[in-house]
Amino acid sequence: MIFVLNNNSVMSIEIENVSFIYSGNSAKTLNEINLNIPKGTTLALFGASGSGKSTLLNLITSFFKLQSGNISINGTHISEGSSKYNISYIRQAPNDMVYPWKTVLNNLLFPFKLRKTNDKRTEKSINDLLKQVKLEDKKKKYPHQLSIGQQKKLSIACGLCYDPDILLLDEVFSGIDLPLKFELWYFLRNKILTNQITTLIITHDFDEALFFADNIVILTPEGSIHDSNFPIEKSLKQQYKNIEDYLSCEIIVETKKSLIETFKTIYSYD
Amino acid sequence: MRTYTLLITGLIVLPLVFATFFYFLGFLNEVINPSSQIKFPSVLDIYSDFLRAIVDKDVIRAIGITLKNVIISTLISIFTGVFLSLLLTANKNLLKIFEPTVDLFRSIPVTFFIPAFALILGVSSPNIIWILTIIPCSLIIVINVTAGITQQNKARLHHFCLLSRNNNRFYSFFKITVFEVLPFLVSGIKIILSYSIVVVTVLEYMKMGSQIGLGNLVADKMDLYDYKRVYSIILIVGLIGYIVNKSVNVIFNKRLNYE
């Protein structure tokens, strides 16, 4: 089944009949996956640990070699066109995103230096970003001199500093306290909505998925996408600015209930 | 306590520990072998001779020779070790094939290679010291650097490819892998510096390839039963090791402030 969100923009991620099997495994980790994420929309992918969520992100970013099926970005197969696009893949561990031998500022300037697009305007935008994530007084520090929460902020800033067209989030907010989590949620959703970033978010947190996503899908233990999906009206996000208000509005509460029920049924637990 | 207070305390404790150690050796000498003609020197004798030794022309020359041998061997070991590591990690299978060889070679005490190289190069050739030091030291570098390359954070490397939009292996090697491996290399350099001081002085002591190094002086003074000077020189060797290690730490901690 292919889920298509209503958006007429040109940039999108199309995943068609993708299957993947790890060497030495008898069962497929991903089984005939079909997904379509148009530009500017956010899709949340749910699934138990080991169900193949991160594998899918690794396939989209060509970290893993595609075995069968097709993944295209904006209509171009990833093997041909991945280098054309600004893809950002923010992982759970900040250490995977930041370079310990570079200061906070240099970590953020690194992509621009690599692409030779570093100028005064870039430095200004980086300084603005540092202010937004409240790390402006830490810009000369090294990552190991920051707290875990600050490292998370830095890794998110690293993932956003070069204005990605596509954002892949892999359990980014796990293991951080609620106030910081809400602060980062606001910041990130604001960026996604303002810059119309096509986003695929992997999470185990129902609230997080409901807060970010325009649609939520569930990965089954067999590695396929479950038939039911949970679209969320974009207007709701504009209507409720406060997280608590948004998450407690009737539509979201109902969606959450039905999401939890479906998840329970798929994974057979009470 | 602050770091420098601890350091100063450590530097005060050091001569006291050595004094206790030398006193204990003298005591053992008295108890176990009371009829011995040659007595172990007193702590005061050793320390006063140590102060004379550090300004002695012969000792200073010996320090220079030993340090020269240590530095040459270390530099060649680093170069050889890094080169071999790059060669071995170029291909996963190559590393697996040569892993037992590297492990076997590093398990052989370097002194066992003396007969072979003494035969090839001659006992008096200075190259024998370098070669016998380079063999174990370059293996230490190989083990450290290959560990650094194979244990490199793959997710970070992948992130780099996404950032740079460039999958070229050499490009990522010079931009990322070099920095990832640097802490492993530095830790290897610290080990081989201490190790090469030990190997060089032991080979000098065995009269291999040098006649005027610190090891030679120890052997000469032992022949003359000048134990005060023997232990003064041993203290100097220890001091060189300490200073070299501290200097390397200071240099690398300034430039390598991560992991």
pLDDT digits (tens, 9 = 90+) for A139-190: 899 999 999 889 988 998 998 888 888 999 998 888 778 888 888 888 888 8
Q: Find chain A residues with C-beta within 8 A of B156's C-beta.
A: 95-97, 99
Instruction: Tell whether B96 lies on the interface with A, counting CB pairs under 8 A.
Output: no
Interfacial A residues in 80-99 facing B (CB < 8 Å): 82-84, 87-89, 91, 93, 95-97, 99
Domain ranges of chain B: 1-40, 56-255
Would you call A14 helix, strand, or coil by DSSP?
strand
CB distance A93–B155 less than 8 Å?
yes
B255: closest CA of chain A, how far (Å): 9
CATH of B56-255, one of 1.10.3720.10, 3.40.50.740, 1.10.287.130, 1.10.10.10: 1.10.3720.10
What's the sign of the alpha-carbon dihedral A232, A236, A242, A245? negative
CB distance B258–A115 less than 8 Å?
no
More confident residue, A240 or B80: B80
CB distance B165–A83 less than 8 Å?
yes
**A61, A100, A115 member nearest B158 (Cβ):** A61
CB distance A88–B182 less than 8 Å?
no
Q: Find chain A residues with C-beta within 8 A of B174's C-beta.
A: none
Q: How many CA atoms lie within 13 A of A68 on its CB side?
A: 11
Instruction: Tell whether B163 lies on the interface with A, counting CB pairs under 8 A.
Output: yes
- Residue B259: what pLDDT? 57
Instruction: Tell whether B176 lies on the interface with A, counting CB pairs under 8 A.
Output: yes
B47-56: long-range contacts at Cβ-Cβ below 8 A with a sequence spacing of 24 or more? B47/B15, B47/B19, B49/B228, B49/B229, B49/B231, B49/B232, B50/B231, B50/B232, B50/B235, B50/B236, B52/B232, B53/B229, B53/B232, B53/B233, B53/B236, B54/B236
Q: Which residues contact A263 (CB under 8 A, 6 or more apart)?
A: A46, A218
ipTM of the complex: 0.82
More confident residue, B66 or A25: B66
- Residue A1: what pLDDT? 41
Is 90 exceeded by the pLDDT of residue B68?
yes
- Residue A4: what pLDDT? 41
Is 50 exceeded by the pLDDT of residue B195?
yes
**B159, B163, B259 member nearest A100 (Cβ):** B259
